Structure 1
Amino acid sequence: MNRTFAILLSIFSVPFLLHAQKLPITWTKVATGVWKASIGQPQKFDLLGAAGIHPQTKALQTLGEADFPLPKVECIAELQQGKVYLRFPLEKEEQLFGLGLNFQTVNQRGRILDLHMDHYGGTDNGRTHAPVPFYVSSKGYGVLINSAEYLTVYAGTGLRTDSKHPPKIYNRNSDKDWDAQPYSDVMEILVPANGVEVYVFAGNSPMQAVQRYNLFNGGGVLPPKWGLGFTQRVPTLSTAADVRKEVADFKLHHFPLDFIGLEPGWQTKSYPCSFEWEPSRFSDPAAFIKEMKDSNSIRLNLWLNPYLSPSSQHYPQLTKYAGTHTVWNGLVPDLNMPQAVNLYKSIFTKNHINPGISGYKIDEVDGYDNWLWPDVTSFPSGISAMQMRQRFGLQLQSLTASWFKEKNIRTYGLVRGSNAGASSLPYVIYDDYYNHRDFITALCNSSFIGVLWTPEVRSSPTAEEWLRRMQAVCFSPMAMLNAWSDGTKPWTYPEVEQQVTDVANLRMQLLPYIYNAFAQYHFEGKPPVRAMNLADSFYYAGEATSAALNSVTNPYPLAIKQDIKDQFLLGDDLLVAPFFAGEQKRKVILPKGNWYNFYTGAYAGNGEVIEIPATLDHIPLYVRDGAIIPMIPAMERAPRKEEVWPLELRHFGAAAGKLSLYDDDGESFDYEKGRYMHYQFSVIKDANGKWQGSVTTDNPQQLSPQYNHFTFTFMGQ
């Protein structure tokens, strides 16, 4: 009898043994508008630690105080079978943005994502180059899960039995409104660990939540000016002579060029890498780097993947500080071990940075599973293989950037894998995926998660597609042409060579505006490229529902309820609406306020959907009412610090305008010591109704000005 009772007791006890344990959540204010909760037992290796963030507390204060944006009693954490289950409330009309670098969707409400560092495989499922566990709400707040584990996110998909706002129940047999995915009022995240850090960022708009996130992570990167010019990546086995010819060809065609990317062949060995120059192709690297910079104002960027070749003299030294598995037979350094970091620093400094290279293209730190180390790999620091995968690209960015900074040199490069905390790191994400439409969607999504993304240009099947891709890349964080595999040049399609050159020259003319947008990223946290959902003058879903939705008489509220993924803002005042190959026309959604055609100054619309015909000559650009767009003459390289240029100030619309234009030497970190200046421009009408422009400067340290002559142009007047 006792034996039977014991068996029954053990059977009926199982549910109680598996019952979730509620974990206390205490929110601690760590900066203005930012709160942190340490739930359970957070892990040693997380994302923000890998990025090495330095919160900009003073800049956060300028955004003003804010209340905790969520009902605390509805923020819930439970521990079950060694895993943390997080739950946050959602309102019915709330939209969710972020949750990684997605290529096909912007609003992530209603999606299930497994946030896992990987190549992007064509589906928005969480496997991507930047699986950032940060989401932004249309209600004006953001949530970061600071975990380096593979996370599963249910973004308003799981319908709970204890829902406070359950959906209406429909009968599929009789109700046409029946939906296979009923409305859910919770965001739920599964963290496969017994503890985690969570951050909440408050704001009065999605933009302000993003600003706080970026500023907490150190402020956005301020790249060197040359990094915003054009880069051409040359074929794999290019020699010094080939690079000289490439530079000469660009000059012959009067096409802008600021830095050359050398692909794997610059090394003695690659896949895995030696990190040493191949003497048959570059006999004197330091002399060649100096020649390129002094004679042509060209910088060099080196491709690498970070796996050390057995042919390297340093291989035996690294063995003790590397993982148990290799990548292409190369050692994977445990970057959580000081010995591995110091070894890589000595190799990179001696072979690359001291001779004068300007940056890196860090490849193959993202995926695929059958390429990278498997999840059964062990590392000497004790970090798990999964955590290493989520953090590895972040750590390489942070380390290499710090080695340049020690020499007071700004760098700007490319990387295949990034994650939360990357805002201040001088790298732009790229990949081999080549869908033009999806590239623009990724541009929009990058603005929510504190990373930069560029839609590179390489071979195209038609001249029109080549032009459309070129037009888009000219309004991206890096203007990258990639000829590594096929040798394509900007003038490969002569029938559109003039239009390609024109849009490239336009980017160069707009460098003061673009550089100023990056200054806003650094000092204010505003991303330079912005999804429309971050525009202050944009209607959100909650507002849209109050208007009658009608695709003919009232298309604007209807349009903004959809994913807006084919247009974006560059800085505060430029709206970019790319065309894609084969399109004869397109719709453009203009935010509230008057907008004007960039090229003519003509009025375009106000808070409405317009339709425009396709033209090869221009990428559609629209300017906010009262905006002042600073421009310099077209040139074949970015301005150098010792140069002085005339500045044209184009004013648009009928409203008075103001512009604070940031400037510094464009190369060093002296701006952190206060060595920068602001030009203050204003445009108002005088007593006779004529526009008048004025200029003042704020230059406390008496820097040599970059601009010495100012011309105001009143567009459309």
Structure 2
Amino acid sequence: MKVVRILVCIMLLLFPFLSAHSQNISWYEVAPGVWKGLVGTPETYDLLKAAGAIPNLDGLAKLGKAEFPLPQQLIAASLNDGKTQLRIPLLKGEQLYGFGLNFQTVHQRGKILELHVDHYGGKDNGRTHAPTPFYISSNGYGVFINSARYIKVWAGTGVRKDSENFPVPKDRNTDKTWSSRPYADAVEILVPAAGVEIYVFAGPKPLDAIKRYNLFNGGGYLPPRWGLGFTQRVMTRSTVADVEKEVATFAEKGYPLDFVGLEPGWQSKAYPGTFTWDNNRFPNPQRFVSDMLNKGIRLNLWLNPYVSPDAPFYKEILPLTSSHTVWLGAIPDLTLAKARGIFFSQLQQDQVAIGISGYKIDEVDGYDHYLWPDVATFPSGLSAEQMRQTYGLLMQRYSADLFKKRNQRTFGLVRASNGGGTSFPYVLYNDYYNHEDFITALINSGFAGVLWTPEVRASKTGEEWLRRFQSNVFSPMAMINAWSSGTKPWSYPEVEKQVKTFALLRMQMMPYWYTEFAKYHFEGTPPFRAMNLEAGFNQEPKKEMSGTINLEENPYAEAISKEIKDQYMAGEYLLVAPMFAGQLTRKVVLPKGRWYDFYNGAFVGDGEVLIVNPGLDKIPVYVKDGGIIPMMPPMLHAPKVGEKADLEFRYYGEKMGTYRLYDDDGETFNYEKGQYSWREIKVQRTATGIKGTISAPEKNKPNTIGKITWTLMTK
């Protein structure tokens, strides 16, 4: 390290133009394993301030202390042309993950990106719904840039002539090892501001750094139980009668349903919106909402925040809006308390107060020709760029407050988020509809501190419909978004039986999903995450598990040299490998350790590359050795507050299994006052089967567990 310091000093002497602009970085440990670095004069408005993120200090303390994971003296900063340049060292063996919600790639080293809130346009270039300026290194640390600006990133692409790791130039004419992309030893970042906050999160493992990042942003959101049930969004101009018929048909056919989404037609006018009910389609909203709640159905309302001249508060809010419009609607400056008061009071009085359970917040992302231009002005004085980067955060934050004040949890949809938004009750979605890319986005969501749903809308064939539906069940929000198509779960008769089986499976698995989201909240562990975060993933295989393809013909090296972007971990124990339309077989890469078939408990392999042919009835899902999956009966609605559900604990494998099952009332924020419990589950094999135990319920704590049964899946 002493040699490195000497080299740095020599570089500065050789290149005095660097020292003229270089900046000291002042580092402060702000939580265990979390450091903040200050460069120049950071702007007063940033991502964390926009989100109002409050660190979960208890959770961070439980992760324990750690050493600063990088050589601080090699993290460099400089100010040039009113912009901040950052340079963070990068070793040859490192891979990078993150930089927002990407759809086509998991490995980010070698990318050049501009992190810019936008509707995803089919290319991983930084323009996306959640361009979170946070990245993870395979060496076990994370870096977050707390700026509400369009941030440019060169993720190991630029080679400085003064680099101590400068590669040896090669002759392309004679040397076959010549590369058009030589090794670069840094991540370089350009922030268009005269200062910035930079945060570093220690590991020691990549997943530990992600946990620290999530907890620093408040921890993941814990949805109400009904939010993890099944969702149907109805067609745009649906009426009371249409919704009532749809709800009744779900019940008659025995399909689960917990909340229904109403699209723009619930408003008297939309694009821009009035935020008031349409009297023809919904003549008595309060009665309608009450009737739905009595049937166990919550209602979720679509909106975008652009105010029609026909809105009842238009004149009052107009002075507090931008110079430009969106679809000719006024854009409230949500950084102003007065503007928020006017806008959200309408939502509170007209919707939340009568029992509406949540929102779908649309069009806060882009494209550029939809949203305001960068030359727009806002009465707060914030730039159009800063508003673009944070408008999704602001809408999430202040709409969530409406429900928090009522001690009522919500769960909804949003089109844009960013750093700081981990604790918000929203799942991202978009209009891009590539199934394979949806799964890659689900994987990348775990690096970005957001949630993503590979929603189902419509399909060309029954096979495609089933494949989309199956993977949707293993995601944060199981949803059909039929706003345009009117599609139902049973719309493809040839696969209706399988679709219903998976819809009910979603409900059966609710205790598992609910516990995994509790871990997201209390411990920072993403409920859906990449394979490289799973222990034992990069091992050598024992053999290729296929009757027709051997290791020599299909080497494991080929499987792992390319990024794994079509399989993922779901919770503590499950590995999910979706099938896509037209696929008869697929490759599944198992981490080291014994794995078992989710459906029948059979042993499938230990570190192998599987070639599987599951048929149409299921997609490959595997459980690690000792896995315990809590299941409940396939109810058509999530359990109500105080309602007990019988639980079946399914055990897989050979070694002793342990699991911590979370419990609370399922709907309120009383868990923040200590009204929750973790029940310790243990299972071990015996000569005749298994022996399972569960810790006693805690006195004066919620207990929603009814009768308990134990099932040995691996015979």
TM-score normalized with structure 2 length: 0.95
Instruction: Give the whole-Å Cα distance in 2 for the aligned partners of 1:132 and 1:677.
Output: 33
- The 5 Å alignment of 1:230-309 reads 230-294=230-294, 296-309=295-308
Whether 1:458 and 2:460 are equivalent positions in the alignment is: no
1:166 counterpart letter in structure 2? F
1:711 counterpart letter in structure 2? T
Instruction: Give the whole-Å Cα distance in 1 for the aligned partners of 2:678 and 2:657.
Output: 16
Map of 2:386 onto structure 1: 387
Q: 5+ residue gaps in structure 1?
A: 1-14, 545-549
- The 5 Å alignment of 1:97-112 reads 97-112=97-112
User: Is 2:651–2:714's contact at 8 Å kept on the other side of the alignment?
Assistant: no
Report the 3-state secondary structure (helix = DSSP H, G, I; strand = E; otherwise coil) of the residue aligned with 2:449.
coil
Report the 3-state secondary structure (helix = DSSP H, G, I; strand = E; otherwise coil) of the residue aligned with 1:242.
helix
Report the 3-state secondary structure (helix = DSSP H, G, I; strand = E; otherwise coil) of the residue aligned with 1:325.
strand
Map of 2:587 onto structure 1: 587
Instruction: Give the whole-Å Cα distance in 1 for the aligned partners of 2:20 and 2:388.
Output: 29
Instruction: Give the whole-Å Cα distance in 2 for the aligned partners of 1:582 and 1:178.
Output: 39
Instruction: Give the whole-Å Cα distance in 2 for the aligned partners of 1:428 and 1:368.
Output: 20
Instruction: Give the whole-Å Cα distance in 2 for the aligned partners of 1:244 and 1:689.
Output: 51
How far has the Cα of 1:180 moved from its partner? 1.2
User: Is 1:273–1:309's contact at 8 Å kept on the other side of the alignment?
Assistant: yes
Q: 5+ residue gaps in structure 2?
A: 1-14, 542-549
User: Is 1:677–1:697's contact at 8 Å kept on the other side of the alignment?
Assistant: no
1:301 counterpart letter in structure 2? N
Over 3 Å counting, the alpha-carbon distance change for 1:168 and 1:509 in structure 2 is: farther
1:41 counterpart letter in structure 2? T
User: Is 2:38–2:196's contact at 8 Å kept on the other side of the alignment?
Assistant: yes
State the identity %. Answer: 57
How far has the Cα of 1:536 moved from its partner? 2.6
1:183 counterpart letter in structure 2? Y
- The 5 Å alignment of 1:462-481 reads 462-481=461-480
Whether 1:529 and 2:528 are equivalent positions in the alignment is: yes
Map of 1:359 onto structure 2: 358
Map of 2:10 onto structure 1: none
Over 3 Å counting, the alpha-carbon distance change for 1:551 and 1:332 in structure 2 is: farther
How far has the Cα of 1:552 moved from its partner? 2.8
Map of 2:610 onto structure 1: 610
Map of 2:409 onto structure 1: 410
Instruction: Give the whole-Å Cα distance in 2 for the aligned partners of 1:18 and 1:442.
Output: 39
Instruction: Give the whole-Å Cα distance in 1 for the aligned partners of 2:140 and 2:697.
Output: 33
Report the 3-state secondary structure (helix = DSSP H, G, I; strand = E; otherwise coil) of the residue aligned with 1:152.
strand
How far has the Cα of 1:432 moved from its partner? 0.2
Instruction: Give the whole-Å Cα distance in 2 for the aligned partners of 1:403 and 1:136.
Output: 34
How far has the Cα of 1:352 moved from its partner? 1.0
2:559 counterpart letter in structure 1? A
User: Is 2:632–2:646's contact at 8 Å kept on the other side of the alignment?
Assistant: yes
Instruction: Give the whole-Å Cα distance in 2 for the aligned partners of 1:315 and 1:690.
Output: 68
Instruction: Give the whole-Å Cα distance in 2 for the aligned partners of 1:200 and 1:698.
Output: 40
Over 3 Å counting, the alpha-carbon distance change for 1:392 and 1:538 in structure 2 is: same
Q: Select between 170-179 and 461-470 the one with higher mean Cα deviation.
A: 170-179
Map of 2:316 onto structure 1: 317
Instruction: Give the whole-Å Cα distance in 1 for the aligned partners of 2:352 and 2:335.
Output: 22
Whether 1:619 and 2:625 are equivalent positions in the alignment is: no
Instruction: Give the whole-Å Cα distance in 2 for the aligned partners of 1:515 and 1:177.
Output: 51
Map of 2:705 onto structure 1: 707
User: Is 1:19–1:80's contact at 8 Å kept on the other side of the alignment?
Assistant: no
User: Is 1:264–1:303's contact at 8 Å kept on the other side of the alignment?
Assistant: yes
Instruction: Give the whole-Å Cα distance in 1 for the aligned partners of 2:34 and 2:439.
Output: 30
Map of 1:59 onto structure 2: 59
User: Is 1:583–1:614's contact at 8 Å kept on the other side of the alignment?
Assistant: no
How far has the Cα of 1:700 moved from its partner? 3.6
Over 3 Å counting, the alpha-carbon distance change for 1:20 and 1:608 in structure 2 is: farther
Report the 3-state secondary structure (helix = DSSP H, G, I; strand = E; otherwise coil) of the residue aligned with 2:345.
helix
2:209 counterpart letter in structure 1? A
How far has the Cα of 1:135 moved from its partner? 0.2
Alignment deviations for residues 110-141 of structure 1 (CA, whole Å, 9 cap, x no partner): 00011111000000000000011000111110
Instruction: Give the whole-Å Cα distance in 1 for the aligned partners of 2:170 and 2:697.
Output: 64
Report the 3-state secondary structure (helix = DSSP H, G, I; strand = E; otherwise coil) of the residue aligned with 1:650.
strand
User: Is 1:117–1:129's contact at 8 Å kept on the other side of the alignment?
Assistant: yes
Instruction: Give the whole-Å Cα distance in 2 for the aligned partners of 1:601 and 1:614.
Output: 14
User: Is 1:205–1:536's contact at 8 Å kept on the other side of the alignment?
Assistant: no
How far has the Cα of 1:613 moved from its partner? 1.1
User: Is 2:36–2:199's contact at 8 Å kept on the other side of the alignment?
Assistant: yes
User: Is 1:309–1:331's contact at 8 Å kept on the other side of the alignment?
Assistant: yes
Whether 1:420 and 2:403 are equivalent positions in the alignment is: no
How far has the Cα of 1:17 moved from its partner? 8.7
User: Is 2:361–2:414's contact at 8 Å kept on the other side of the alignment?
Assistant: yes
Instruction: Give the whole-Å Cα distance in 2 for the aligned partners of 1:375 and 1:383.
Output: 11
Instruction: Give the whole-Å Cα distance in 2 for the aligned partners of 1:356 and 1:38.
Output: 45
Instruction: Give the whole-Å Cα distance in 2 for the aligned partners of 1:619 and 1:194.
Output: 51
Over 3 Å counting, the alpha-carbon distance change for 1:682 and 1:342 in structure 2 is: same
Report the 3-state secondary structure (helix = DSSP H, G, I; strand = E; otherwise coil) of the residue aligned with 2:517.
helix
Map of 1:153 onto structure 2: 153
Report the 3-state secondary structure (helix = DSSP H, G, I; strand = E; otherwise coil) of the residue aligned with 1:39.
strand
How far has the Cα of 1:318 moved from its partner? 1.1
Over 3 Å counting, the alpha-carbon distance change for 1:553 and 1:69 in structure 2 is: farther
User: Is 2:324–2:372's contact at 8 Å kept on the other side of the alignment?
Assistant: yes
- The 5 Å alignment of 1:14-413 reads 21-294=21-294, 296-413=295-412
How far has the Cα of 1:553 moved from its partner? 8.5
Alignment deviations for residues 300-345 of structure 1 (CA, whole Å, 9 cap, x no partner): 0000000011112311111211110011111111111111011112
User: Is 2:689–2:712's contact at 8 Å kept on the other side of the alignment?
Assistant: no
Map of 1:6 onto structure 2: none
How far has the Cα of 1:538 moved from its partner? 2.3
Report the 3-state secondary structure (helix = DSSP H, G, I; strand = E; otherwise coil) of the residue aligned with 2:189.
strand
2:530 counterpart letter in structure 1? A
How far has the Cα of 1:534 moved from its partner? 1.5
Alignment deviations for residues 144-193 of structure 1 (CA, whole Å, 9 cap, x no partner): 00001101100001111122222343221122222211111100001011
1:388 counterpart letter in structure 2? M
How far has the Cα of 1:28 moved from its partner? 0.2
Map of 1:547 onto structure 2: none
Report the 3-state secondary structure (helix = DSSP H, G, I; strand = E; otherwise coil) of the residue aligned with 1:174.
coil
Map of 1:716 onto structure 2: 714
How far has the Cα of 1:249 moved from its partner? 1.3
Instruction: Give the whole-Å Cα distance in 1 for the aligned partners of 2:20 and 2:553.
Output: 52
Map of 1:4 onto structure 2: none
How far has the Cα of 1:65 moved from its partner? 0.7
Alignment deviations for residues 480-505 of structure 1 (CA, whole Å, 9 cap, x no partner): 10111011111111000001111111
2:704 counterpart letter in structure 1? Q
TM-score normalized with structure 1 length: 0.95
User: Is 1:18–1:80's contact at 8 Å kept on the other side of the alignment?
Assistant: no
Map of 1:599 onto structure 2: 599
Alignment deviations for residues 441-483 of structure 1 (CA, whole Å, 9 cap, x no partner): 0000000110000011011001100000000100010011011
How far has the Cα of 1:559 moved from its partner? 2.5
Whether 1:512 and 2:511 are equivalent positions in the alignment is: yes
Instruction: Give the whole-Å Cα distance in 2 for the aligned partners of 1:342 and 1:637.
Output: 35
Report the 3-state secondary structure (helix = DSSP H, G, I; strand = E; otherwise coil) of the residue aligned with 2:418.
coil
Report the 3-state secondary structure (helix = DSSP H, G, I; strand = E; otherwise coil) of the residue aligned with 1:335.
coil
Over 3 Å counting, the alpha-carbon distance change for 1:74 and 1:554 in structure 2 is: farther
Report the 3-state secondary structure (helix = DSSP H, G, I; strand = E; otherwise coil) of the residue aligned with 1:324.
strand
2:140 counterpart letter in structure 1? G
How far has the Cα of 1:555 moved from its partner? 4.0
User: Is 1:143–1:199's contact at 8 Å kept on the other side of the alignment?
Assistant: yes
Over 3 Å counting, the alpha-carbon distance change for 1:18 and 1:588 in structure 2 is: closer
1:190 counterpart letter in structure 2? L
Instruction: Give the whole-Å Cα distance in 1 for the aligned partners of 2:315 and 2:296.
Output: 39
1:170 counterpart letter in structure 2? K
2:475 counterpart letter in structure 1? S
User: Is 2:318–2:330's contact at 8 Å kept on the other side of the alignment?
Assistant: yes
Report the 3-state secondary structure (helix = DSSP H, G, I; strand = E; otherwise coil) of the residue aligned with 1:115.
strand
Report the 3-state secondary structure (helix = DSSP H, G, I; strand = E; otherwise coil) of the residue aligned with 2:575.
strand
Instruction: Give the whole-Å Cα distance in 1 for the aligned partners of 2:575 and 2:16.
Output: 57
User: Is 1:556–1:607's contact at 8 Å kept on the other side of the alignment?
Assistant: no
How far has the Cα of 1:638 moved from its partner? 1.4
How far has the Cα of 1:422 moved from its partner? 1.1
Name the count of aligned residue pairs. Answer: 693
Over 3 Å counting, the alpha-carbon distance change for 1:261 and 1:182 in structure 2 is: same
Alignment deviations for residues 189-244 of structure 1 (CA, whole Å, 9 cap, x no partner): 01011011110000111110000000000010000010011111111111111100
